[in-house]
Amino acid sequence: MTDEAHFELQTDDRGGVTVLRDGHPQSHVDLHDPELLVFEYVAQLAIGIDLLPPGPAGITHIGGAGLTLPRYVQHTRPGSPQIVLEPDTALTEAVRRELPLPRNHRIRVRPQDGATGVRALRDDSADAIVVDAYDEGRVPAQLISATTVGHFRRVLKPAGLLLLNLADEPNRQHLARALATVTTAFNDAVVLALADVMKGRRFGNYVVLASGQPVDIDEIRRRATRLAATTTVRAAKALQGTAKPFTDADVVPSPPPPDLGAWRIR
């Protein structure tokens, strides 16, 4: 365990390590099995990565924590050039010290927040952008602003994929506006969530896959059936309804998660 003020690395009885930041679980890493994706939303994000053409892919990750998905990409697509935008340098140093990255990786961690770092990236330079960044359990407002979503579109190649891990309450009002913002910049998008979350029964994560080109929702549904947890896939437009896109002036962070007491590794 790493004793730091704002983060913690906890080892479970199977040898995996969970990274917690501000008391919230951020990542699970198994150094012996990079394809073991314990968190449901991470497995859903990986579906988007797997949809890319075979071979190395240029991936930009906004949010680093335990670097779970960069490790997955390096394992499944060796030689992939990856950029990770993670402002928490103390966390990055602890993760790299206690959970070393594989040899010959091409993962570069930049100590910048996502909204700032994405502005410096070249046009048409990424095959995918993965947005999985939380601050005290909430998606920062600047990551879903109209300006930042526009930069995502600029940085992605024409057939590139934007993958976002969002969260909302059962009413999905925040998600609807976030989807309206995304679909203003991208032609097509689908949403994945655990079945009970999609039914509006509880607070939870929603994974969004968006592209400037059509997204094969049927193929995504087929892949989702292979996940350990029952996952529902829906078109983004069906969930956003008549919601208005966020502007830079009125965008807000995602709602805080419910207080479920002390979180424990099972």
Strand (E) or helix (H) holding 108 = strand 107-110
Taking the C-alpha atoms of residue 44 and residue 40, their distance in angstroms, rounded to an integer, is: 6
Taking the C-alpha atoms of residue 186 and residue 55, their distance in angstroms, rounded to an integer, is: 25
Burial of 61 (0-12, 13-18, 19+ CB in 10 A): buried
Given a cut of 50, whether residue 94 has pLDDT beyond it is yes
Q: Assign 26 a pLDDT band (cuts: 50, 70, 90).
A: confident
Q: Which residue has the higher pLDDT, 250 or 95?
A: 250
Given a cut of 90, whether residue 199 has pLDDT beyond it is yes
Given a cut of 80, whether residue 111 has pLDDT beyond it is yes
Note the pLDDT of residue 175.
98
Note the pLDDT of residue 262.
42
Spatial CA neighbour of 164 closest among 256, 260, 236: 236
250: Cβ contacts below 8 Å, ≥ 6 apart: none
Task: For residue 76, report the phi and psi dihedrals to the nearest 5 degrees.
Answer: -90, -20
Average pLDDT over residues 86-106: 91
- State what percent of residues in the chain have pLDDT above 90: 79
Q: Which residue has the higher pLDDT, 187 or 260?
A: 187
Spatial CA neighbour of 71 closest among 47, 103, 44, 97: 103
Please provide the average confidence, as pLDDT, over all residues in the chain: 92
Q: Residue 80 half-sphere exposure, CB side, CA atoms within 13 Å?
A: 28
Average pLDDT over residues 187-200: 97
Q: Which residue has the higher pLDDT, 20 or 176?
A: 176
Angle between helices 40-51 and 217-224 (to 10 degrees): 140
CATH of 7-240, one of 3.40.50.720, 3.40.50.150, 3.40.630.10, 3.40.50.2300: 3.40.50.150
Average pLDDT over residues 139-168: 97
Note the pLDDT of residue 15.
79
Q: Which residue has the higher pLDDT, 186 or 98?
A: 186
Given a cut of 60, whether residue 189 has pLDDT beyond it is yes
Q: Assign 80 a pLDDT band (cuts: 50, 70, 90).
A: very high
* Start-to-end Cα distance in the chain: 16
Given a cut of 50, whether residue 85 has pLDDT beyond it is yes
